[in-house]
Structure 1
Amino acid sequence: MESDIINLRKPKATDGFALHKLVERCAPLDPNSVYCNLLHCSHFADTAVAAEDESGELVGFISGYCPPARPDTLFVWQVAVDARCRGKKLGQKMLLELAERLAPQGVQYIETTITPGNIASEKLFAGVFAALSAPVERSVLFSKEEHFAGLHDDEVLYRAGPFKLSTQNS
């Protein structure tokens, strides 16, 4: 990528197909249907962030939602960063942008699941949780045997918070 200029913004429905293509380029992320991506970009736009380069191409995306029973929590479903933008902390910038955007609405916890051995995700979230001075708890949310019939690794829940926005992030 020639330029490092990235625009972070709330997604819009017209980003749905581009999100689908971005996730395809970000193996091993689980692909969702285009329709699901359209919903992430419209119904869940308030809890998502899109990153586009100077030409307007979608190069990063975080989808998430606030669970109805826990409106103080952002659950991060998926983080996608185009290969050309990796190693530049784009995932961290997007996640901190979301935390800053949602904090005034009472969000003070971030949750996600990570499969054991996913070093990139572990590093991303560890960096964000450290930047937010957020203590972290871990537990298995969905187990390999109980939930996946032994066909998928455990999904470990990371719950961090309450977080604090520094003057640098706010």
Structure 2
Amino acid sequence: MVSDSQSFSLPRTLQLSGVTFRRPTEIHAADVWELIAKCPQLDRNSLYCELLLCSDFADTCVLAERAGAVVGWLSAYRRPSELSTLFVWQIAVHPEIRNTGLGKGLIMSALKRPSCQDVTHIKATVTLSNPTSGLFFAAVARDLAAPIRQALRFDRQAHFKGRHDSEYTIAIGPIERSP
């Protein structure tokens, strides 16, 4: 499981025998791209984008594997204008193991990394047409005993010219870390 030793613990509901959380490498990009294709609620990025995430952003992205297969993916980065914030771009969980705590495990694994030791907030964007994501982030905030807020970030008309639903920022934090 997770080998990092900071103060975060994995959710009690985690039922993931044999799952390993790790830093991705370039060779994982195609597997990540294929996993995202199995998650129709997610926007599919180009394979090249996944390659950049697995290489240039590997310190904040997390791969979950079971029996050598990619079963989970967290793409995330520290916001250049807010280094204390981890922005969660996407969380993909293989359909066969959804609702097992894997998504929370991916986030907790990222927070335990040395590259995230100064992170005190998590942000993500969600659409109102995806209430599952909102509930997921509310559960993460609850597990971290941190406040959560929501506000419009990208407007359907102003930013997407009507081609995409409005995106709302979910902000979690501050996150209290034990010494």
Q: Judge same fold: TM > 0.5, yes or no.
A: yes
Within a 5 Å distance, the mapping from 1:118-129 to structure 2 comes to: 118-129=130-141
Q: 2:153, 2:33 → 1: CA distance?
A: 26
Equivalences for residues 60-139 of structure 1 within 5 A: 60-101=72-113, 105-139=117-151
The normalised TM-score by structure 2 is 0.86
Q: In structure 2, what is the Cα distance between the partners aligned to 1:104 and 1:144?
A: 32
Partner of 2:42: 29
Match of 2:57 among 32, 37, 44: 44
- Check conservation: 1:20, 1:34, Cα contact below 8 A: yes
Please, which of 168, 173, 179 is the counterpart of residue 161 of structure 1? Answer: 173
Find the aligned partners of 1:104 and 1:141 in 2 and give their Cα distance: 24
Aligned pair 1:16/2:29, yes or no?
yes
Q: Aligned letter for 1:26?
A: C
The aligned counterpart of 2:160 is: 148
Q: CA separation in 1, counterparts of 2:111 and 2:20?
A: 17
**Alignment partner of 1:73: what SS?**
strand
Q: CA deviation at 1:25?
A: 0.8
TM-score by length of 1: 0.90
The structure whose RCO (Cα within 8 Å, separation 6+) is larger is: 2
Percent of residue pairs identical: 38
